[in-house]
Structure 1
Amino acid sequence: MARQSYPQSFWHPLYWPTWLGFAFVWCCAHLPWPVKRGLGKAIGLLLLKVAGRRRHITEVNVRLCFPDKTSAQQQQLVRDIFIANGIGLLETATAWFRSPDYLRPITSIRGAEHLQHALDQGKGAIIIGIHFSTLDLAGAINKLYFDIDTFYRKHDNPLFEAIMTRSRKQIYGAAIDRKDLKAALKRIKSGRAIWYSPDQDFGREVSVFAPFFGIQAASINMTSRLAKMTGCAVVPLAVSRQDNGHYQLEYFPALEQFPSDDAVADATKVNAFIEYAIRRHPEQYMWMHRRFKTRPEGEEGFY
């Protein structure tokens, strides 16, 4: 449904399902952690059975990226991916409706000095984020240590957008429309760090082809473009859910000799870090998206 077709009043019956949905999400956010993880696992296993299209995409991605695994190992990884992403839904609810301080007892950070060093140069920074199932929770956790900005995509439903805007305000300094390059440049040039996730396929027009798990993947070149226009550092970040239920943020040293004059080399360097981070916890990545949707000329699609 187009955005302009929604009524102005949020109390219109058209919005009641949204209100009910968010009421459920709010309740989930206030459950004890063991209950949230158990419920998340159940949701993930349910989705594994009913979300046939997403399961197919995940299976294809796993076969492409982990050809060394046996068929049984690949299927186990697919199962683990759905469980991890089911838990991620409850983590997202927590990020939306609980204060970041609620997360302090179960979080730790490594490599904070790398982002701090970049910010101390006064040119701002781009944080390379990754679409792990912990993505939304990671933003809330990061608030405990740094005040950063982020890119986001507007939702068509105005009520959904309003509630999400409220949650973003308690996590980020500013949430910038992903198409608003001018605003992003202004924030970076003022010395801010901005979270950017360049690990999805946005099509041929804004991408170059660079290797990712040994496969030529359409890789957005915005990371190097922003770095060139601002002179800022590009600092990688990995976020993981630990076996003990705790969460760890780990910043890495800024990419060296980045950006260069070679867009493919830059994208390859970014993809190499993303692949490294994923291989440490492959089940926690959001493999449900068509990462290899856009193919080089003459190649058939995978999905």
Structure 2
Amino acid sequence: MKELDKAAAGQFTLPLIYETVQRSSPATIKLDFARSSCPDAGNNSTLPNSTYWKNLETLLSTVSSDPQLINYGFYNLSAGEGTDRVNSVAVCIGDISMDMCRICVKESSKKILTVCPNEKAGIVWYDQCLLRYSGSSGNYDWGMKSIFNGNKASSDPDRFVEAVKSLMGRLREEAASGNRTRKLGKGEISVGNETVYGLVQCIPDMSSRDCDRCVGEGSVLISEARMGARIFRGGCVLRYENYTFFNPTPNNGFPSSSPLPTPGTYWYPTSCTSGEFERDVGPRFDHVIGQTRGLIWSSI
């Protein structure tokens, strides 16, 4: 984790890695906001003119103004001291271009101040990145948020669920075995005439054990034959769909253990026309509330 103080805020940079970026015009860049969370909201507040809040604003504004901070598709920074110390983490999800990665982090740094005003901890998830801040580092047990596709597998749902679990288990191992610059697993599996695509990613500076645990606990929500799901945690994300939502090869703006191919364009299909529903799961998984568009329900 890097230390950032106010005096050095405009001068801080991470070591550079080489980068070949496929430029995208602003018209082609579309960010998909997913969920947000303000842990212990109302009981862990701060004042807008407090030293803590000013440190947070300094931290996020520095990230927004210095694009080199996100060269690895990831940063872990802090500002301030003692009880006024703020830690912020951001990671770009999947194999998006470096341009989109930086734009997502910049937008997230603005969004998080509006969804968690005057709170000492907050996290926002986009399909393209996550950004979080708190007064401590290394704690990723922030419960879970999720969005499920409203469609169910029409034939042999039990087989579908087992196939999805098998895929996510394989990707879980792949992500956990990553290094401190990237912990990502992605792949596909055939289920009858269907192909399911999956992605699992952890914050890179998590230990392999913590990454494995984070994904494993998130996987408990995969219990119904839904055709797609996005599961968000403080330290990891899981996603599977019955359509391709990631590039088949890694983008060469990020480190890779293999030769880096020519980058492709990251494509995000429109939302499923049948609708989606959401679940919020607390840290102990003892309270689940789901919400469809136009319908409130509870389960588990």
* TM-score of the superposed pair, with normalisation by structure 2: 0.26
Q: Which has the higher strand share?
A: 2
Highest RCO, 1 vs 2 (Cα 8 Å, sep ≥ 6)? 1
* TM-score of the superposed pair, with normalisation by structure 1: 0.25
Q: Which has the higher helix share?
A: 1
